Amino acid sequence: MFNTSTKGPEGAGRSLQSRKYFKFQLSGWTDFDPMDKQFSEISAAIEKGGGLVSSVEVLEVQDDVSRIKDKEVAEAFQNILAANRVLVNVDKLPKKLVEDLRSVLNDRGTGEAKRPVSSTSPQAAPALKQAS
């Protein structure tokens, strides 16, 4: 059977099925307008002294991704969980499928969306949705 534990530092040894999901809200101040910035830019600026986080509030906790009310967020987490299962179990996948996955990922990195060679469907392989 497939391994469902994570290997990363944040989920070391933790089962993919036993995760909790936290909806949270941050409050803070910056010395710049954060409205046109990505979150990573805001946090980097805060780390460099350009602001501070004054509070973190947990608004909701769910024990299962299917209980997340925001369907777009739930789908993004489901995609992440599926990708993690593939990564953890890549050694159990057929060699050709692994090659096709690598090909698709490499093509996405260059901005080209090519269909894997072994694909029999006329449609390109679906991309995982990126959380916004």
Work out the percent of the chain whose per-residue pLDDT is above 90. Answer: 51
Burial zone of 45 (CB within 10 Å; 0-12 exposed, 13-18 middle, 19+ buried) = middle
What integer is the mean pLDDT of 14-34? 87
Element (DSSP H or E) covering residue 55:
strand 51-62
What is the pLDDT at residue 43?
A: 96
Selection from 89, 40, 84 nearest residue 65 by Cα: 84
Residue whose pair of structure tokens reads 């909701």 in the numeric block: 60
Residue 30's pLDDT band (cuts 50, 70, 90): very high
d(CA 5, CA 2): 9
For 74-93, how does the pLDDT look when each residue is reduced to its tens digit (9 = 90+)?
999 999 999 898 889 888 98
What is the pLDDT at residue 17?
A: 54
Residue 58 · residue 23 · CB < 8 Å: yes
Give me the residue spans of the domains in the chain: 18-63, 69-117
